[in-house]
Amino acid sequence: MKRLAVALLLSCSTNDDVETRTGTAVDHGRALFDDPHTSSSPSNVFACSTCHAGAGIHPGYDLAGATNRTSFWGGKRLDLLEAINDCRLSFMDAWTPWTKDEGDARAMYVYLSSLGGPADPLAFDVAVIDPPANGDPARGADVYGRSCKKCHGDAHDGKDRLVPFAPILPITLNASRAFYVKRVRLGAFASASGSMPPFSRTALSDDDLSALIAFFGF
């Protein structure tokens, strides 16, 4: 019932009833999607598009159809606004959640609605399952470039990493195969430290994870 109430209220948002800083409500929402200032933290450098858009392998799924889905985070959330706030608070260090009456929240909803897409919930399997052994390091180097480099920079020296606190990979001190599996699959989602988002087994296959770990030397 709570999700339905929020969805009904937000679905009433149009280009005409959302206060915008520039252009239409869709333009405003698109700008928010690409802007780290979607978080209220001045130190945040992550935008929604960091994890949900662009080429490569991303922990966040394509959000086309998100406004039509009935659940999020593998059924952990039934309310889209709460799912958005999960990202803002957990990974973007926002200080306060958006409310359903805020212009930014409404503009984001209008933008996501404009993307269309299927309504079916997406699989979100973050189970810590050991992937196949003996992965291909060469494939792992490619996986690194498409999934890790955006935030962590070049392997071994961290050149061009997104933020100074993103660890240089591979981590060797106290690292192990199990360590990497947990960090990749859980990120900071299930009581793990840091701000790394989790890569579900749907976003990053077990074979890709096996190759990545082999590239790291484990």
Is the pLDDT at 195 greater than 50? The verdict is yes
Number of domains in the chain: 2
Q: How confident is the model at residue 137 (pLDDT cuts 50, 70, 90)?
A: very high
The reply to whether 28 and 97 lie within a common domain is yes
C-alpha gyration radius of the chain: 18
69 lies in the same domain as 167: no
206 plus 150 within the same structural domain? yes
Q: How many of the other CB atoms lie within 10 Å of CB of 157? A: 9
Report the percent of the chain where pLDDT is more than 70: 88
Structure confidence at residue 136 (pLDDT): 97
- Same domain as 27, residue 62: yes
Residues 67-91, mean pLDDT to the nearest whole number: 92
Q: Tell me, what CATH number does 201's domain have?
A: 1.10.760
Q: What is the pTM of this model?
A: 0.84
170 and 100 in a single domain? The answer is no
User: Which of 79, 114, 149 is at the close of a domain?
Assistant: 114
Q: Let me know if residue 130 belongs to a domain.
A: no
15-52 tens-digit pLDDT: 445 555 668 999 999 999 999 989 989 889 999 999 99
Q: What is the mean pLDDT of residues 126-151?
A: 94
* Residue with the larger pLDDT of the pair 164 and 15: 164
Q: Is 128 inside a domain boundary? A: no
pLDDT-derived band at 120 (thresholds 50, 70, 90) equals confident
Does 132 map to a domain?
no
pLDDT of residue 8: 37
126 lies in some domain: no
Instruction: Tell me, yes or no, whether 107 and 13 share the same domain.
Output: yes
Are 176 and 103 contained in the same domain?
A: no
The verdict on 85 and 183 lying in the same domain is: no
Q: Which amino acid is at 113?
A: S
Q: Is residue 125 part of a domain?
A: no
Please tell me whether residues 143 and 74 are part of one structural domain. no
Q: Work out the number of other CB atoms within 10 angstroms of the CB of residue 151.
A: 20
Domain range for residue 178?
137-215
Question: Mapped to the 3 state alphabet, what secondary structure does 201-217 carry?
Answer: CCCCCHHHHHHHHHHCC
Residue with tokens 């009833």: 17
Contact 151, 166 (CB under 8 A): yes
Q: What is the CATH number of the domain that holds 23?
A: 1.10.760.10
Q: What is the mean pLDDT of the chain?
A: 87
Q: What's the CA gap between 9 and 77, in Å, rounded? A: 18
Task: Give a yes or no: residue 129 inside a domain.
Answer: no
> Is there a domain that residue 81 lies in?
yes
Same domain, 186 and 95: no
- Whether the upstream peptide bond of residue 198 has omega within 30° of 0, thus cis, is no
Contact 65, 119 (CB under 8 A): yes
Tell me: pLDDT of 126 over 50: yes
**Any domain includes 209:** yes
Do 187 and 109 fall within a single domain?
Answer: no
Question: Is residue 96 domain-shared with residue 173, that is, in the same domain?
Answer: no
- CA 124, CA 39: separation in Å to the nearest integer? 24
List the beta bridge partners of residue 77.
Answer: 72
